[in-house]
Structure 1
């Protein structure tokens, strides 16, 4: 078959490409394929928008590839102790809606990123994410793209993702949390980098009902566009190429194993930071940097029980820098519910801090006393970008999907360990200000792979010198019709959640794709 645009991957980045191209070039025929199944009634719907708990659990199970049963609830402490004892199993390391890349105990023990995981479903990990969309701060920004261009791209990305800081009402407790965070942070920060409500990808109505952003919202009207087609359970096995041009793609409909060769004028691979380089490697497209510079920020987590007299003890604190009158809502069942953000801002705060109520946290605790206000504190720091941190693709073994099996090389340097210790120290200051750590939530450096924020494996650069896979518009070096997208394109170490940046880069890249459609 023939199409104008072939997009491989249906997560937030693939959906962004499809939406922009369909809006600006409605005559262009777009085929999107995803190896995973459709897991909800609405195509690419965030699981938090599924009101039926059984349907939500089934959506998570269907996203877990070979793992066909629910994962048990594992607290942070139980997870950490199991790792220390060497009891590395999928039930310990993976989270609902994901599955480990390597899921056999012996393989996990030799894997330097034991928790590295993926989601296999229409919408990708974008139907399971926390929806946190902070802009990167000083020290984690891409410096070789003009600042005004990135500003424009970020603004458009925030529009596409429906980013807001008003997803949750601000209560007196919430104001106090922010005030304490800002006291700990101090006043030596860049403009607008004080502690504040986390920017979240979420639509809200007049009554503050929340609808979390995923592929369905991003695609919007594109889903009904006559020139757009989305095929689930369809694996792109290989890209055929000649003289710097993709000439075809072999796709396989998994339920029947039916193969089709797709001819496309432009191919965009936005599978994820692992499967995008995997497909290129399987296709014989192997620039020197492919799979190298694999990065993930270290992730330090703990739970804290808020002091019951928190508001009374801090009633004289100055108000936070937001307008609570616009986002207060007395309907909130728990006044501490929300997501709060301490922005990355080197050198004063070279960490990304995220504070989430227990109900919203991706990590769980065994505390069941509803009278206690428990919040999770996650702190991330920079991990040096190194060529030897990499995906290792097998020449002889295949994975669950029949693609080259992956293993991982990943080491913390002395500088990384210093950054981790500094993040722990700052996080502990915050804990001491809030209350006390709960017994099963002691400060823990989570195993590599836990954050799910994998970057660098198809990194962009300014010249084809072997240090990057694509140019600043995400076009693969040496090819005139092959683009890549996703967190793997981010070329530098970051501590913040990467999705907003990846979508912004896709917005900018779409401009180049559209120019080529015109040619």
Structure 2
């Protein structure tokens, strides 16, 4: 089979490539493949848009790779205790809709990122994400791309994702929460970096009903393009490489850091359920699997630049739950007609709030959300209590030694090179974590009190799901990066990568907005090659 563009991965970034390139080149044939199944009526639909709770749970279970069983409601405290005692299991460490990369207990016990996880389904982890789209602050911005170009790409990404700060209506509770956050933050912040509603990828109708953005929204009418084809439960086993030299192509060359140019001549794919194998020839290949499986596929294909899989980064993540002071509204909201007393929990009208990264005043990313929107859970079920989750992230230094280690001999549950992980906090990282805890504690004390089973906890590495750096971009082909600033893999004329792994620096914020922006920018380069 032949195609103009092959996209591997159907998450928000893969969907952005498909949407953008389909619009720019409507006559180009685009094939998108994903190892995961279709889990709902709509392709790549966010699980929060599924009205039937049983259908939503089934979509989550189908996304959980080899372990398709429900995960129990586990509290933050129980997770932490299990990690500390070494009582590790997939049920404890993975969130609903995801599955651990390592599913054997002995592997998890020796792994330095015990909670590292992925989703395997059409739409990728994008059907499970919180839809938070904060704008990076100074200190977590990509400086190797001109600022005006990055701003333009971010604006296009917000449009694609339907980003808004009005997903939730204003309420006395939300006013009180923002007032408290800004009192704690103080006035010494940069312009527009005060506490505010979280920018969310979401659309609301006239009745205030929310529809959360995932790949179905991003793809839009791309699905109707007769030149677009989407295949589920189809894995790419290997990219076939040819060297451009006097018109001759050599299969699977070594990968030196030289000026030699290679091209991808095809991709060996397999339908997982039937075992049917074939090779797709493509003019352009885009690998946007995720920050783990993208470098895994390159490595399996013999594409092994020095930086591949290295500089693995994830911001430390401190989480806690707080029972709001029953007099919160009376004390802090200008409109005091409402009260938190007796309001049912979860209450979807409160929303999600953001304390932006703003070094040096607040070199953290703060996210405050109601229980039903929280990625973590608590066992407290008293509906008279008004409970919110507070997550604080901080920067972790980028380090070459933090890495994915690929096995030459062992395979994972999909028959691809098995992964293990090296990941350590430096003294600077530990100091950043303590500073984040201290600021979060000030916010907690202003809100009310921490609840018994959800006290302040540094989550196990891998919990945030915000993995970066494994296919990082750079300005020179010097072994310190995998691709250029347009996401084109060094030494390859037709191979591009996408996703959070491309982000070359440490961040504390949710990375999806930036990754979509980078895909938009990369698409502009790709369209010139077709």
Alignment partner, residue 493 of structure 1: 506
Q: Does 1:89 align with 2:107?
A: no
Q: Does 1:364 align with 2:377?
A: yes
Alignment partner, residue 124 of structure 1: 124
Alignment partner, residue 277 of structure 1: 295
- Contact map agreement 2:35 2:235 (CA 8 A) in 1: yes
Alignment partner, residue 456 of structure 2: 443
Taking a change above 3 Å as real, the CA distance of residues 459 and 335 of structure 1, as seen in their structure-2 partners, is closer
RMSD, aligned CA: 1.5
Q: Tell me the distance in 2 between the aligned counterparts of 1:38 and 1:455.
A: 26
Q: Tell me the distance in 2 between the aligned counterparts of 1:42 and 1:242.
A: 38
Q: Does 1:113 align with 2:113?
A: yes
TM-score by length of 1: 0.96
Structure 1 residues 124-170: Cα deviation after superposition (integer angstroms, max 9, x where no partner): 00000000000100100001100000010000000000000010111
Taking a change above 3 Å as real, the CA distance of residues 334 and 100 of structure 1, as seen in their structure-2 partners, is closer
Q: Tell me the distance in 2 between the aligned counterparts of 1:67 and 1:415.
A: 37
Alignment partner, residue 456 of structure 1: 469
Structure 1 residues 27-84: Cα deviation after superposition (integer angstroms, max 9, x where no partner): 1000000000000000000000011111111100100011121001100011111111
Structure 1 residues 316-374: Cα deviation after superposition (integer angstroms, max 9, x where no partner): 69xxxxxxxxxxxx999948621000000111000000000011111001111111110
Cα displacement (A) at 1:206 = 1.3
SS in 1 for 2:309: coil
Alignment partner, residue 240 of structure 2: 240
- Contact map agreement 2:345 2:386 (CA 8 A) in 1: no
SS in 2 for 1:261: strand
Q: Tell me the distance in 2 between the aligned counterparts of 1:264 and 1:404.
A: 24
SS in 1 for 2:23: helix
- Contact map agreement 2:175 2:334 (CA 8 A) in 1: no
Cα displacement (A) at 1:242 = 1.3
Alignment partner, residue 252 of structure 2: none
Worse-superposed segment, 202-211 or 288-297: 202-211
Alignment partner, residue 327 of structure 1: none
SS in 1 for 2:368: strand
Extract unaligned runs of 5+ from structure 2: 244-261, 336-342
Q: Does 1:59 align with 2:64?
A: no
Alignment partner, residue 290 of structure 1: 308
Q: Tell me the distance in 1 between the aligned counterparts of 2:409 and 2:94.
A: 26
Show the 5 A alignment for 1:321-340.
334=347, 337-340=350-353
- Contact map agreement 1:11 1:124 (CA 8 A) in 2: yes
- Contact map agreement 2:325 2:449 (CA 8 A) in 1: yes
Taking a change above 3 Å as real, the CA distance of residues 332 and 258 of structure 1, as seen in their structure-2 partners, is same
- Contact map agreement 1:169 1:332 (CA 8 A) in 2: no
Q: Tell me the distance in 1 between the aligned counterparts of 2:456 and 2:140.
A: 25
Show the 5 A alignment for 1:413-428.
413-428=426-441
Q: Tell me the distance in 2 between the aligned counterparts of 1:14 and 1:127.
A: 13
Alignment partner, residue 23 of structure 1: 23
- Contact map agreement 1:172 1:335 (CA 8 A) in 2: no
Q: Tell me the distance in 2 between the aligned counterparts of 1:431 and 1:464.
A: 47
Cα displacement (A) at 1:104 = 1.1
SS in 1 for 2:5: strand
Alignment partner, residue 283 of structure 2: 265
Show the 5 A alignment for 1:457-496.
457-496=470-509
- Contact map agreement 1:456 1:492 (CA 8 A) in 2: yes
SS in 2 for 1:77: helix
Alignment partner, residue 196 of structure 1: 196
SS in 2 for 1:369: coil
Q: Does 1:308 align with 2:326?
A: yes
Show the 5 A alignment for 1:156-171.
156-171=156-171
Cα displacement (A) at 1:314 = 2.1
Structure 1 residues 387-423: Cα deviation after superposition (integer angstroms, max 9, x where no partner): 0000000000000000000000000000000000000
Taking a change above 3 Å as real, the CA distance of residues 333 and 498 of structure 1, as seen in their structure-2 partners, is closer
Cα displacement (A) at 1:208 = 1.1
Q: Tell me the distance in 2 between the aligned counterparts of 1:169 and 1:84.
A: 41
Aligned length: 506
Alignment partner, residue 153 of structure 2: 153
Alignment partner, residue 323 of structure 1: none
SS in 2 for 1:151: helix
Taking a change above 3 Å as real, the CA distance of residues 336 and 436 of structure 1, as seen in their structure-2 partners, is farther
